[in-house]
Amino acid sequence: MAITAHCSSCEYAFDVDAELLGRRICCPSCGDPVLVGASRTARRSSRPSAARRSFQEKTVRARQQRFWAVVWFITGFAAGLTAILTGSLLLSGRNDAAASAEQTASGEQLSERPDLDRDSPAPDSSTAAGSTTDVSGRHPKLLLNTAPLDPPVTSWEDVKERLEPCIVRVQAVRNGSVVKSGSGFLLHGAGIIATSFRVVEGADDVRIRFVEADSMTSASVVAEDSRREIVLLRIDAGQIPVGVSPVSLRLSPVDAGSEIAVLGIGNAGEPVLKEGNVLALRSASELAQVRGLFGYAGIWVEHTVAAPDDLNGAPLIGRNGRVLGISLTRRVRDQITGLAITSEEVASLFVQKAASLADARTAADGGQD
């Protein structure tokens, strides 16, 4: 007896022997297995159609594509973040290296000069500076005073009395009005005044007045360095009061804990001396890392004197009466920091601008040697 079997794959119907009921045989048309005796509906549902298989395959491929897209996105994001962090570290290291090289070059420029005795007096000179040290190289007339005070000072009152005549009031004028005031000091007998760049920044005109003078004197800028906060001004040497000599610079490093003072002229027009101590010597990179002060160069003295703005540009003075640098006060995040660019940096700018300063001296001397 024969029965009819139906292939669920190709829908082919064919007769087989009844003895094969319940057994699987191959379809003579497509070769797929056929269960003999199974209902047609069951046979159709026993194997997914080609369309369904195609849909399932597409779904699997789409999921795989989404998975790899996510993997590549995460990998690319991580690589980009790593590149940014690496670049930032390299840039920071490069800036620190540049600052260090600049500081080293500045130090070498002074240390390589055999005529620059950093802490001892030079032979006698006939200039207004008294005992002096030549830091000018090609211009022997440009002598900075580095001699110890004679006679030595014994107290801060003595320091104030001896240095008061060298201190000046500095006013920055813009559009005919005074916009900022500060202090400064006589650096050289040719009429060279040192003060802070912060005091005269953006000014149309600068005026100065000695403690013993009756009126303000117009001054011109002959050298400036904004990153070291140094400005050198020039006045007519004839405007220097009789008997007033330049300050004495100390060009050697100062130790932490040393007694210091800031001496300037306050808003009332009277000399003001504020005492304190040295906290540390800091490079520009250390100022950025420790104090959050960016954009500076050179070597700085950090000290405890929180002086008012009218003492910006005043000299930072050691216990022996010699000038250690140009002082200024910075306020960062409600914290007041006393700083001073070292006298060595001031002397370095003096060296770099020697030609301009030589012209100033020649003019002051009437062109005579």
Q: How many CB atoms lie within 10 A of CB 162?
A: 16
In a domain, 310, yes or no: yes
Whether residue 154 sits in one domain with residue 42:
no
In a domain, 299, yes or no: yes
Cβ(123)–Cβ(143) under 8 Å? Answer: no
In a domain, 109, yes or no: no
Pick from 280, 276, 284, 228: nearest CA to 97: 284
Whether residue 267 sits in one domain with residue 143:
yes
pLDDT (0 to 100) of residue 326 = 96
Q: How many CB atoms lie within 10 A of CB 290?
A: 12
In a domain, 175, yes or no: yes
Whether residue 137 sits in one domain with residue 43:
no
Cβ(174)–Cβ(115) under 8 Å? Answer: no
In a domain, 137, yes or no: yes
Cα three-residue angle 145-147-152, rounded to 5 degrees = 130
Cβ(295)–Cβ(228) under 8 Å? Answer: no
Whether residue 148 sits in one domain with residue 27:
no
Burial class from Cβ neighbours inside 10 Å (0-12, 13-18, 19+) for residue 109 reads: middle
> What residues in the chain have per-residue pLDDT under 50?
43, 106-141, 362-369
Cβ(139)–Cβ(357) under 8 Å? Answer: yes
DSSP 207: E
Whether residue 37 sits in one domain with residue 157:
no
In a domain, 19, yes or no: yes
In a domain, 57, yes or no: no
Helix then strand then coil, in percent of the chain rounded to 5, is 35, 30, 35
Whether residue 165 sits in one domain with residue 300:
yes
pLDDT (0 to 100) of residue 94 = 65
138: CATH: 2.40.10.120
* pTM confidence score: 0.62
Whether residue 161 sits in one domain with residue 39:
no
- Give the domain range for residue 255: 133-364
Is residue 69 classed as helix, strand or coil in its secondary structure? helix
pLDDT, tens only, 23-34: 888 888 888 888
Domain count, the chain: 2
Whether residue 138 sits in one domain with residue 6:
no
pLDDT (0 to 100) of residue 16 = 85
In a domain, 79, yes or no: no
Whether residue 164 sits in one domain with residue 38:
no
pLDDT (0 to 100) of residue 369 = 39
Beta strand spans in 92-216 (E): 133-134, 143-144, 167-174, 177-188, 192-195, 205-210
